[in-house]
Amino acid sequence: MPAIDVLLQQREKDGNPIRVGIVGAGFAARGFALQVLTALPGMRLVAIANRTLSYGRMAYEDAGISNFVQVGTKEEFAKAAFEKKYILTNNPFLLTDSGDIDVIVEITGTVEYGARVVLRAIENGKHVVHVNAELDGTLGPILKHYADKQGVIYTQADGDQPAVLMNLFREVQMLGFKPVLVGNIKSLLDPYRTPDTQKKWAEEHFQRPKMVTSFADGTKISYEMVTIANGVGFPVGKRGMYGPSCKHVDEAHTLFNVDELTKTGLTDYILGAEPSFGVFVLATNDQPTRARYMNVYKMGDGPLYTFYRAFHLGPLEAPQSVARAVLLHDVTLAPKYGIVCEVITLAKKNLKKGDVLDGIGGFATYGMIENFKTARRENLLPMGLSDLAIVKRDIAKDEAITFDDVDLLEDSVAVRLWKEQLVLFGGGK
């Protein structure tokens, strides 16, 4: 099978590029658009949809594109697509419903809005590649179920830690090793960070304060690790993961209980280690000759080995998953094992009856990874369903919030899909 770059070059030569529509125009989406517009033959960006049009304009302009057109109707969209113009709209369903697009790339970081877009894309027979661990960690199994029924790909995009970790996991297996831990590397974790504390850093790095807050307060890493847990079938050892500290990832194989690893596998992270933008897999080997090769190549004496990748490049790598989905029908990362873990909701401060929760990266709550069976036994509220929920009783700081503690957003597609997902996957792993 030719490599992806060769296949893309052939698509370009044949005048048959992969036609891509992006929903979202934030920091990650603009990086994705830049790659497609400037670095990849065989792939064409047809349209960008974003609720705030100025960010969509920025996505085109950052890539040196000024001759884009703004449209608002199906007829205008079809005409612009036929004329091969770059399209901007605030209506994502013009993209999901268009016959001029092969793949929807969803990069909003939202759950409710993202669910509506992804479901509509799947219903219209579109492949879906997303940079949205929050959506996947909440509704990924049911969305994959619908995609499988339609015969289309639903996958997380390369470049973010979970997908990079899945690539590494597969590589380790191909080397003849048995993975027993999938790991992230975290520089900072403080569950009480807020959009106020993170505002300056967000502005300096061209990102939204709520998004950056989710990085710092542990919610984001919980979502990332839920997606890989559901992809490889490894639970967490405890609520929130162990997260031991160390100086370098090379030490990781000494930090976890080998019996626990070999019994169930584990999803976890290390804190404060270098390389700080990397991911790692711990894997075992019981073949003596292979062990000798590992020793020669300075990988240690075993039987537990650390494999790592020192970097991930986010949206710059993400288009590779679009190519894999269309050209190879290959999934980068999806919840193959259904629901192994989920992200639950905890109070970031003392909450009062009548308070309205402000969702991921807000002032009121933070998310923490938990094993699915435990979360359901305790009736815990998934973080992805918490936005705009109304608190029904006083809740203490750091207390886990249950469904009984809140009234959820009415007419929520995410809530409906989550309930359907629970029926379909209710037994867990």
Q: Is the pLDDT of residue 284 over 50?
A: yes
The mean pLDDT value for 312-317 works out to 95
Closest to 269 (Cα-Cα) out of 334, 304, 330, 223: 223
Q: What is the pLDDT of residue 2?
A: 60
The mean pLDDT value for 47-61 works out to 97
The proportion of the chain whose per-residue pLDDT surpasses 90, expressed as a percent, equals 95
The proportion of the chain whose per-residue pLDDT surpasses 70, expressed as a percent, equals 99
Q: Tell me the average pLDDT of the chain.
A: 96
Q: Is the pLDDT of residue 195 over 90?
A: yes
Q: Is the pLDDT of residue 233 over 70?
A: yes
| pLDDT digits 0-9 by tens, 238-251 | 999 999 999 999 99
Q: Is the pLDDT of residue 269 over 70?
A: yes
Cα–chain center distance at 22: 16
Q: Is the pLDDT of residue 429 over 60?
A: no
Q: Is the pLDDT of residue 162 over 60?
A: yes
* pLDDT bucket at 204, cuts 50 / 70 / 90: confident
pTM over 0.75: yes
**Torsion angles phi and psi, residue 175, rounded to 5:** -80, -5
The mean pLDDT value for 98-123 works out to 98
Closest to 383 (Cα-Cα) out of 359, 415, 407: 359
How does 68-81 read in b/e, with b if 16+ C-beta sit within 10 Å? beebeeeeebeebb
Q: Is the pLDDT of residue 428 over 80?
A: no
Task: Write 86-89 long-range contacts (CB < 8 A, 24+).
Answer: 86/45, 86/46, 86/47, 86/48, 86/60, 87/46, 87/47, 87/48, 88/47, 88/48, 88/49, 88/50, 88/53, 88/56, 88/57, 88/60, 89/47, 89/48, 89/49, 89/56
